[in-house]
Amino acid sequence: MSEQIKPVRKAVLPVAGLGTRLLPATKVMPKEMLTILDRPLIQMAVEEARQAGIEEFIFVISSGKDVLIRQFECPQALMDMLEKRNKVEQIEKVKASSLPEGAIQTASQEVALGLGHAVWCAKELVGDEPFAVILPDDTVRHERSCLAQMMDAYNQHGGNIVATCEVDMKDASKYGMLDIASRDGQTVSVKGLVEKPKAEEAPSNMAIFGRYILQPEIFNYLDRHEKGAGGEIQLTDAMVHLIQDQPFHGFAFEGERLDCGSEVGFVKANIAYALDKDSISDEVAEYMMEKLRAYHEGKAMLGKSKKAAA
């Protein structure tokens, strides 16, 4: 790493949202606790970050979501019970999914004013050093953690980096979209960004996916609390300003992106990870084939034929 490139030790996880897209599942339970097989989304995000060398986690949280912090504790009563029953494997699972004391700090965001506002809430805890932002709904399925891949690019280029992937132009209005100056392999130099543009106004088909490495100067712009797309304080808008001052890259990561904040994305993620898991993959694949056959014959839907449902 060159001398001017400061290491990234902290990750901000904006987890204050209400998860209304997944109601009623999220009525009581935070959406970040929804599980892909045996791991809650928040666990997957933290594990990804740890694989990238992150040591400190800043959860931007709202009241009622404390369970997200408890997920990383090692509860004594549970450990005692597992030890008494000699459940060695389970003990390891609990330990591996816990964080050392003090690794999580919290900042509160009681009103949902936008992603930019959520990140701004972590300002004091981030301090004057580069940091990562992870949106736990957005997962990337790959052997090498997406943030670790980005960290390699960061150690080469420094500055600011967002994860990026190609999307259908018709979906541009769901994402922050990149205006690209040049490309070099997986890394693109970014000259502008537009948050949730109409398809015809998107500067490219490259979208921001929920991973960022940012320099602390982003807070100079987040401090302004400017409202943007959807009347929200957008992280993208603050980054638009930062692009004028500092190097800014997009990194086309390797791996399958899965939007677990939507019903379809969540189902896809469960299927993809199930097929990765040796102990269940054969049975799951067989079941899926059976279901697919029935689906194509119009027999898979409870209480109605495919035609009747259409």
Nearer to ligand G1P, 215 or 236 (CB): 236
C-alpha of 36 from chain center: 13
**106 to 135, contacts with ligand G1P by CB under 6 A?**
115, 135
* CA nearest neighbour of 136 among 206, 59, 73: 59
Q: Does 250 bind ligand G1P (CB under 6 A)?
A: no
Asked whether the beta carbons of 13 and 58 are under 8 A apart, the reply is yes
Stretch of 38-46, 96-104, 203-211, 266-274 contacting ligand G1P, by CB under 6 A: 203-211
Q: Which of 175, 219, 266, 273 binds ligand G1P (CB under 6 A)?
A: 175
Q: Does 176 bind ligand G1P (CB under 6 A)?
A: yes
Q: Which of 60, 138, 221, 273 binds ligand G1P (CB under 6 A)?
A: 138
Nearer to ligand G1P, 252 or 288 (CB): 252
Tell me how far apart the alpha carbons of residues 43 and 140 are, in angstroms, rounded to a whole number. Answer: 13
* CA nearest neighbour of 107 among 237, 238, 226, 222: 222
Nearer to ligand G1P, 175 or 248 (CB): 175
* CA nearest neighbour of 180 among 157, 209, 208, 203: 203
Stretch of 81-89, 205-213, 265-273, 294-302 contacting ligand G1P, by CB under 6 A: 205-213
Q: Which of 59, 72, 120, 209 binds ligand G1P (CB under 6 A)?
A: 209
**230 to 249, contacts with ligand G1P by CB under 6 A?**
234-236
Instruction: Tell me the closest approach of the beta carbon of residue 299 to ligand G1P, in angstroms.
Output: 36
**55 to 114, contacts with ligand G1P by CB under 6 A?**
none
Q: Does 228 bind ligand G1P (CB under 6 A)?
A: no
Nearer to ligand G1P, 163 or 274 (CB): 163
Residue owning tokens 């408890």: 70
C-alpha of 229 from chain center: 20
First to last CA, the chain: 57
Instruction: Tell me the closest approach of the beta carbon of residue 232 to ligand G1P, in angstroms.
Output: 8
Q: In this structure, what is the dihedral angle of CA atoms 83, 97, 16, 239, given to the nearest 10 degrees?
A: 170
Asked whether the beta carbons of 213 and 160 are under 8 A apart, the reply is yes
Instruction: Tell me the closest approach of the beta carbon of residue 287 to ligand G1P, in angstroms.
Output: 30
Instruction: Tell me the closest approach of the beta carbon of residue 63 to ligand G1P, in angstroms.
Output: 20
Q: Does 207 bind ligand G1P (CB under 6 A)?
A: yes
Instruction: Tell me the closest approach of the beta carbon of residue 113 to ligand G1P, in angstroms.
Output: 12
Position with the least CB separation from ligand G1P: 176
Binding site for ligand G1P (CB under 6 A): 115, 135, 138, 175-176, 195, 207-210, 234-236
